[in-house]
Amino acid sequence: MDLKPFLTLDQQLNLLKERGLIIDDDTAALKMLSKLNYYRLSGYSLTLRRNEKFNPNVHFDDIMSIYNFDHDLKAIMLNWLEDLEISLRTQIAYTLGQLDPKAYLNPSFFVSEEHYNRFTDELTRALSDNKNEAFIKHHNRKYKGELPVWVIVETLSFGALSRFFASLDVKIKKNICSTYFHGIRYTYIENWLEGLVVVRNLCAHHSRLFNRGLPNAMRFPRFDFEFLTKECGYDNDAVGKKLFFPVVILDRISNDFSATFMTSFADLQQKYRFVDIKYYGFRKDWTAILSYLNEEYS
Protein backbone atom coordinates (compact mmCIF):
# COMPACT_ATOMS: atom_id res chain seq x y z
CA MET A 1 0.00 0.00 0.00
CA ASP A 2 1.33 3.43 -0.93
CA LEU A 3 2.01 5.96 1.81
CA LYS A 4 -0.35 8.90 2.12
CA PRO A 5 0.87 11.93 0.12
CA PHE A 6 2.56 14.89 1.80
CA LEU A 7 0.21 17.79 2.50
CA THR A 8 1.12 21.44 2.96
CA LEU A 9 -0.31 23.28 5.96
CA ASP A 10 -3.02 24.84 3.78
CA GLN A 11 -3.89 21.42 2.37
CA GLN A 12 -4.06 19.98 5.89
CA LEU A 13 -6.46 22.74 6.93
CA ASN A 14 -8.65 22.23 3.86
CA LEU A 15 -8.75 18.48 4.51
CA LEU A 16 -10.01 19.09 8.03
CA LYS A 17 -12.72 21.38 6.66
CA GLU A 18 -13.73 18.77 4.08
CA ARG A 19 -14.13 16.26 6.88
CA GLY A 20 -16.54 18.54 8.70
CA LEU A 21 -14.33 20.24 11.28
CA ILE A 22 -15.35 23.82 12.00
CA ILE A 23 -12.42 26.24 11.75
CA ASP A 24 -13.28 29.54 13.44
CA ASP A 25 -9.92 31.18 12.76
CA ASP A 26 -7.87 29.96 9.79
CA THR A 27 -4.76 31.89 10.83
CA ALA A 28 -4.78 30.51 14.38
CA ALA A 29 -5.42 26.98 13.14
CA LEU A 30 -2.56 27.20 10.64
CA LYS A 31 -0.28 28.44 13.40
CA MET A 32 -1.15 25.41 15.54
CA LEU A 33 -0.65 23.02 12.64
CA SER A 34 2.79 24.56 12.06
CA LYS A 35 3.73 23.95 15.70
CA LEU A 36 2.09 20.58 16.22
CA ASN A 37 2.36 17.63 13.88
CA TYR A 38 -0.94 17.04 12.05
CA TYR A 39 -0.63 13.33 12.87
CA ARG A 40 -0.15 14.12 16.58
CA LEU A 41 -3.25 16.30 16.66
CA SER A 42 -5.36 13.70 14.87
CA GLY A 43 -4.98 11.37 17.86
CA TYR A 44 -6.78 13.89 20.05
CA SER A 45 -9.73 14.00 17.64
CA LEU A 46 -10.54 10.27 17.61
CA THR A 47 -13.46 10.65 20.03
CA LEU A 48 -14.86 13.53 17.96
CA ARG A 49 -15.26 11.73 14.66
CA ARG A 50 -16.35 8.49 13.10
CA ASN A 51 -13.67 7.25 10.75
CA GLU A 52 -12.69 10.34 8.78
CA LYS A 53 -15.89 12.36 9.30
CA PHE A 54 -16.19 14.73 12.26
CA ASN A 55 -19.30 14.74 14.40
CA PRO A 56 -21.63 17.74 13.99
CA ASN A 57 -20.57 21.03 15.60
CA VAL A 58 -17.00 19.99 16.40
CA HIS A 59 -14.56 22.91 16.32
CA PHE A 60 -10.79 22.99 15.88
CA ASP A 61 -10.65 24.68 19.29
CA ASP A 62 -12.28 21.58 20.82
CA ILE A 63 -9.34 19.47 19.68
CA MET A 64 -6.95 22.06 21.07
CA SER A 65 -8.78 21.97 24.42
CA ILE A 66 -8.20 18.22 24.64
CA TYR A 67 -4.58 18.63 23.57
CA ASN A 68 -3.88 21.39 26.11
CA PHE A 69 -5.66 19.52 28.92
CA ASP A 70 -3.53 16.47 28.15
CA HIS A 71 -0.36 18.58 28.01
CA ASP A 72 -1.02 20.16 31.40
CA LEU A 73 -2.08 16.86 32.97
CA LYS A 74 1.19 15.25 31.90
CA ALA A 75 3.10 18.03 33.65
CA ILE A 76 1.17 17.33 36.87
CA MET A 77 1.82 13.60 36.60
CA LEU A 78 5.52 14.11 35.87
CA ASN A 79 5.91 16.20 38.99
CA TRP A 80 4.57 13.41 41.21
CA LEU A 81 6.38 10.65 39.33
CA GLU A 82 9.66 12.54 39.72
CA ASP A 83 9.08 12.70 43.48
CA LEU A 84 8.37 8.96 43.56
CA GLU A 85 11.51 8.19 41.53
CA ILE A 86 13.72 10.20 43.88
CA SER A 87 12.06 8.62 46.91
CA LEU A 88 12.59 5.13 45.51
CA ARG A 89 16.29 5.87 44.98
CA THR A 90 16.55 6.89 48.62
CA GLN A 91 14.62 3.89 49.91
CA ILE A 92 16.71 1.34 48.02
CA ALA A 93 20.01 3.05 48.87
CA TYR A 94 19.21 3.41 52.57
CA THR A 95 17.93 -0.14 52.98
CA LEU A 96 20.85 -1.75 51.13
CA GLY A 97 23.40 0.64 52.59
CA GLN A 98 22.60 -0.57 56.09
CA LEU A 99 23.36 -4.13 54.99
CA ASP A 100 26.48 -3.35 52.98
CA PRO A 101 27.49 -0.21 51.06
CA LYS A 102 28.41 -2.51 48.16
CA ALA A 103 25.40 -4.82 48.52
CA TYR A 104 24.62 -4.48 44.81
CA LEU A 105 27.82 -6.47 44.11
CA ASN A 106 26.67 -9.42 46.22
CA PRO A 107 24.48 -12.00 44.45
CA SER A 108 23.06 -13.14 47.82
CA PHE A 109 21.09 -9.89 48.03
CA PHE A 110 19.22 -10.72 44.81
CA VAL A 111 16.35 -13.08 44.00
CA SER A 112 18.65 -15.19 41.85
CA GLU A 113 22.02 -15.13 40.14
CA GLU A 114 20.20 -14.48 36.87
CA HIS A 115 18.64 -11.33 38.33
CA TYR A 116 22.02 -10.29 39.71
CA ASN A 117 23.71 -10.73 36.32
CA ARG A 118 20.95 -8.85 34.53
CA PHE A 119 21.20 -5.94 36.95
CA THR A 120 25.01 -5.91 36.72
CA ASP A 121 24.78 -5.59 32.93
CA GLU A 122 22.29 -2.74 33.26
CA LEU A 123 24.43 -0.98 35.87
CA THR A 124 27.51 -1.25 33.65
CA ARG A 125 25.63 0.57 30.87
CA ALA A 126 24.34 3.20 33.32
CA LEU A 127 27.80 3.89 34.72
CA SER A 128 29.18 4.22 31.21
CA ASP A 129 26.43 6.68 30.29
CA ASN A 130 27.19 8.71 33.44
CA LYS A 131 30.99 8.49 33.38
CA ASN A 132 31.36 12.26 32.94
CA GLU A 133 29.18 13.11 35.94
CA ALA A 134 31.19 14.91 38.66
CA PHE A 135 30.15 12.50 41.41
CA ILE A 136 31.26 9.48 39.35
CA LYS A 137 34.60 11.10 38.55
CA HIS A 138 35.08 11.95 42.24
CA HIS A 139 34.53 8.36 43.39
CA ASN A 140 36.64 6.95 40.59
CA ARG A 141 39.48 9.28 41.56
CA LYS A 142 39.24 9.02 45.35
CA TYR A 143 38.01 5.46 45.84
CA LYS A 144 39.51 3.77 42.77
CA GLY A 145 36.14 3.16 41.15
CA GLU A 146 34.47 1.59 44.19
CA LEU A 147 31.01 3.09 44.46
CA PRO A 148 28.56 2.73 47.36
CA VAL A 149 24.95 1.90 46.62
CA TRP A 150 23.80 5.45 47.40
CA VAL A 151 25.96 6.62 44.50
CA ILE A 152 25.06 3.97 41.94
CA VAL A 153 21.29 4.53 42.37
CA GLU A 154 21.81 8.07 41.06
CA THR A 155 22.93 6.65 37.72
CA LEU A 156 19.81 4.53 37.23
CA SER A 157 16.72 5.58 35.31
CA PHE A 158 13.28 5.14 36.86
CA GLY A 159 12.84 2.00 34.78
CA ALA A 160 16.18 0.60 35.94
CA LEU A 161 15.30 1.41 39.55
CA SER A 162 12.02 -0.45 39.15
CA ARG A 163 13.86 -3.48 37.81
CA PHE A 164 16.49 -3.18 40.57
CA PHE A 165 13.74 -3.34 43.18
CA ALA A 166 12.13 -6.34 41.48
CA SER A 167 15.52 -8.12 41.39
CA LEU A 168 16.22 -7.79 45.10
CA ASP A 169 15.87 -10.64 47.58
CA VAL A 170 12.32 -11.06 48.84
CA LYS A 171 13.27 -10.22 52.44
CA ILE A 172 14.75 -6.92 51.31
CA LYS A 173 11.67 -6.07 49.25
CA LYS A 174 9.42 -6.90 52.17
CA ASN A 175 11.50 -4.63 54.38
CA ILE A 176 11.21 -1.74 51.92
CA CYS A 177 7.46 -2.29 51.54
CA SER A 178 6.97 -2.49 55.30
CA THR A 179 8.94 0.69 55.92
CA TYR A 180 7.89 2.87 53.00
CA PHE A 181 4.83 1.37 51.31
CA HIS A 182 2.36 0.76 54.16
CA GLY A 183 3.19 -2.93 54.25
CA ILE A 184 1.67 -3.49 50.80
CA ARG A 185 2.66 -6.84 49.30
CA TYR A 186 5.88 -6.51 47.30
CA THR A 187 4.38 -8.22 44.22
CA TYR A 188 1.90 -5.35 43.91
CA ILE A 189 4.65 -2.75 44.36
CA GLU A 190 6.66 -4.44 41.60
CA ASN A 191 3.66 -4.33 39.27
CA TRP A 192 2.78 -0.75 40.18
CA LEU A 193 6.30 0.55 39.72
CA GLU A 194 6.48 -1.11 36.32
CA GLY A 195 3.21 0.54 35.30
CA LEU A 196 4.21 3.94 36.67
CA VAL A 197 7.44 3.80 34.67
CA VAL A 198 5.32 3.41 31.52
CA VAL A 199 3.19 6.43 32.51
CA ARG A 200 6.32 8.43 33.26
CA ASN A 201 7.78 7.61 29.84
CA LEU A 202 4.54 8.53 28.07
CA CYS A 203 4.54 11.89 29.86
CA ALA A 204 8.24 12.59 29.36
CA HIS A 205 8.10 11.75 25.66
CA HIS A 206 5.01 13.91 25.11
CA SER A 207 2.81 10.98 24.14
CA ARG A 208 -0.96 11.12 24.34
CA LEU A 209 -2.68 10.04 27.57
CA PHE A 210 -6.19 10.97 26.43
CA ASN A 211 -8.28 7.95 25.41
CA ARG A 212 -5.25 5.70 25.73
CA GLY A 213 -5.08 2.19 27.10
CA LEU A 214 -1.99 1.51 29.19
CA PRO A 215 0.07 -1.48 28.01
CA ASN A 216 1.02 -2.50 31.57
CA ALA A 217 -2.27 -3.00 33.41
CA MET A 218 -2.00 -2.37 37.14
CA ARG A 219 -3.22 -5.21 39.33
CA PHE A 220 -5.32 -4.63 42.44
CA PRO A 221 -6.11 -6.76 45.49
CA ARG A 222 -9.41 -8.64 45.38
CA PHE A 223 -11.26 -6.13 47.60
CA ASP A 224 -10.24 -3.20 45.41
CA PHE A 225 -11.00 -5.08 42.20
CA GLU A 226 -14.48 -6.09 43.36
CA PHE A 227 -15.24 -2.54 44.52
CA LEU A 228 -14.13 -1.10 41.18
CA THR A 229 -16.12 -3.60 39.13
CA LYS A 230 -19.22 -4.28 41.23
CA GLU A 231 -19.69 -0.95 42.98
CA CYS A 232 -18.17 1.50 40.50
CA GLY A 233 -19.15 -0.26 37.27
CA TYR A 234 -15.74 -0.64 35.64
CA ASP A 235 -15.50 -3.56 33.22
CA ASN A 236 -13.29 -6.35 34.51
CA ASP A 237 -10.82 -5.98 31.65
CA ALA A 238 -10.72 -2.18 32.00
CA VAL A 239 -9.40 -2.08 35.56
CA GLY A 240 -5.82 -0.85 35.62
CA LYS A 241 -5.68 0.22 31.98
CA LYS A 242 -6.51 3.92 32.07
CA LEU A 243 -4.80 6.88 33.76
CA PHE A 244 -7.18 6.92 36.72
CA PHE A 245 -5.64 3.72 38.06
CA PRO A 246 -2.04 5.03 38.24
CA VAL A 247 -3.58 8.01 40.06
CA VAL A 248 -5.08 5.59 42.61
CA ILE A 249 -1.66 3.99 43.04
CA LEU A 250 0.21 7.29 43.37
CA ASP A 251 -2.24 8.35 46.06
CA ARG A 252 -1.71 5.04 47.85
CA ILE A 253 2.10 5.15 47.93
CA SER A 254 2.92 8.88 47.84
CA ASN A 255 2.60 11.34 50.70
CA ASP A 256 0.21 14.28 50.38
CA PHE A 257 -0.85 13.32 46.86
CA SER A 258 -4.63 13.32 47.06
CA ALA A 259 -5.52 16.87 48.06
CA THR A 260 -2.93 18.48 45.79
CA PHE A 261 -3.83 16.36 42.77
CA MET A 262 -7.57 16.87 43.27
CA THR A 263 -7.08 20.64 43.30
CA SER A 264 -4.85 20.63 40.22
CA PHE A 265 -7.21 18.34 38.32
CA ALA A 266 -10.23 20.45 39.26
CA ASP A 267 -8.42 23.53 37.95
CA LEU A 268 -7.83 21.75 34.64
CA GLN A 269 -11.48 20.78 34.38
CA GLN A 270 -12.49 24.37 35.03
CA LYS A 271 -10.06 25.66 32.40
CA TYR A 272 -10.89 23.09 29.72
CA ARG A 273 -14.58 22.35 30.26
CA PHE A 274 -15.01 20.65 26.91
CA VAL A 275 -12.84 17.69 27.88
CA ASP A 276 -14.64 14.51 28.96
CA ILE A 277 -12.54 12.91 31.71
CA LYS A 278 -14.13 9.48 31.16
CA TYR A 279 -11.54 8.98 28.42
CA TYR A 280 -8.91 8.92 31.17
CA GLY A 281 -10.90 6.39 33.17
CA PHE A 282 -12.23 9.01 35.61
CA ARG A 283 -15.88 8.73 36.60
CA LYS A 284 -17.90 11.69 37.83
CA ASP A 285 -17.49 10.53 41.43
CA TRP A 286 -13.78 9.78 41.03
CA THR A 287 -12.78 11.76 44.11
CA ALA A 288 -15.08 9.65 46.29
CA ILE A 289 -13.73 6.45 44.69
CA LEU A 290 -10.15 7.58 45.29
CA SER A 291 -10.84 8.51 48.91
CA TYR A 292 -12.66 5.23 49.62
CA LEU A 293 -9.95 3.04 48.10
CA ASN A 294 -7.10 4.77 49.87
CA GLU A 295 -8.66 5.79 53.18
CA GLU A 296 -6.58 3.29 55.17
CA TYR A 297 -3.32 4.54 53.58
CA SER A 298 -3.84 8.24 54.23
Domain hosting residue 217, numbered range: 67-297
The dihedral region occupied by 234, where left means phi > 0, alpha psi between -120 and 50, and beta the remainder, is beta
12 within domain boundaries: no
Q: How far is CA 109 from the centre of its chain?
A: 28
pLDDT at 146: 75
Angle at which helices 257-271 and 60-99 pack, to 10 degrees? 170
pTM: 0.93
Q: Could you tell me if residue 200 is inside a domain?
A: yes
Residue 45 lies in a domain: no
pLDDT of residue 3: 82
| 53 occurs within a structural domain | no
Number of Cβ atoms within 10 Å of the Cβ of 179: 12
pLDDT, block means (10 residues), the chain with 298 residues: 88 97 97 94 96 96 98 97 96 97 96 97 88 68 76 94 98 97 96 97 97 93 96 95 97 91 96 98 96 87
Over the Cα atoms of the chain, what is R_g?
23
Is 202 within 8 Å of 209 (Cβ atoms)?
yes
Asked if residues 109 and 182 have their Cβ atoms less than 8 Å apart, the reply is: no
* pLDDT of 140: 65
**Residue 79 placed within a domain:** yes
d(CA 6, CA 140): 52
Whether residue 9 lies inside any domain: the answer is no
| Largest pairwise CA distance in the chain | 69
- Whether 29 is covered by a domain: the verdict is no
- Number of domains making up the chain: 1
- Asked, for residue 57, whether it belongs to a domain, the answer is no
- 37: number of Cβ within 10 Å: 10
pLDDT of residue 150: 93
